């Protein structure tokens, strides 16, 4: 039974690795096209087990370092100045890795982000090989 499980795990890892390579080839400035995504789904029917895996997406507006005494002195109407300038691209992170850059937009009175650049992380040590 263990050999069968190992064989199944190896097959799944091989599928994931191949899909990762295929997806990296399909990414361009506009992102993954619907046609490319459908081709990958048809070729690798077992990829469906990944589509419902939750991921954390974070938009990094900027960072700031404060001393504890300055933090304790904050009050209503205090202004914190971040390290990014107005109009500068914002980082889009998935599970703490930058995957894209974008610009702040307002959509129906809510904040949003327009993706302006997809970051190629294919050489990152965090990617599947």
Could you tell me the CATH number of the domain that includes residue 81? 2.30.330.10
Following CA atoms 33, 38, 18, 44 in sequence, which dihedral angle do they give, to the nearest 10 degrees? 170
Please tell me whether residues 83 and 105 are part of one structural domain: yes
Please tell me whether residues 103 and 80 are part of one structural domain: yes
Task: Give the global pTM.
Answer: 0.53
Please tell me whether residues 63 and 5 are part of one structural domain: no
Please tell me whether residues 85 and 128 are part of one structural domain: yes
**Domain carrying residue 44:** 1-53
Please tell me whether residues 30 and 61 are part of one structural domain: no
Please tell me whether residues 48 and 74 are part of one structural domain: no
Residue 16 CA to residue 10 CA, distance in Å, equals 10
| Residue range 95-112, pLDDT digits in tens | 888 999 999 898 899 988
Q: Which residues of the chain have pLDDT under 70?
A: 1-37, 40-41, 44-47, 122-129
In the listed set 18, 35, 53, which residue is the last one of a domain according to the structure? Answer: 53
Residue 100 CA to residue 96 CA, distance in Å, equals 12
């Amino acid at each position: 039974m263990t050999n069968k499980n190992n064989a199944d795990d190896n097959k799944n890892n091989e599928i994931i690795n191949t899909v990762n390579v295929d997806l990296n080839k399909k990414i361009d400035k506009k992102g993954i096209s619907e046609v490319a995504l459908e081709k990958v789904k048809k070729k690798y029917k077992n990829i469906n087990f990944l589509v419902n895996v939750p991921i954390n997406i974070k938009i990094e507006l900027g960072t700031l370092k404060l001393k504890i005494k300055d933090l304790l002195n904050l009050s209503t109407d205090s202004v914190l100045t971040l390290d990014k300038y107005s109009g500068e691209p914002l980082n889009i992170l998935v599970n703490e890795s930058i995957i894209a850059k974008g610009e702040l937009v307002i959509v129906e009175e809510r904040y949003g982000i327009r993706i302006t650049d997809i970051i190629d992380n294919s050489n990152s040590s965090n990617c599947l090989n």
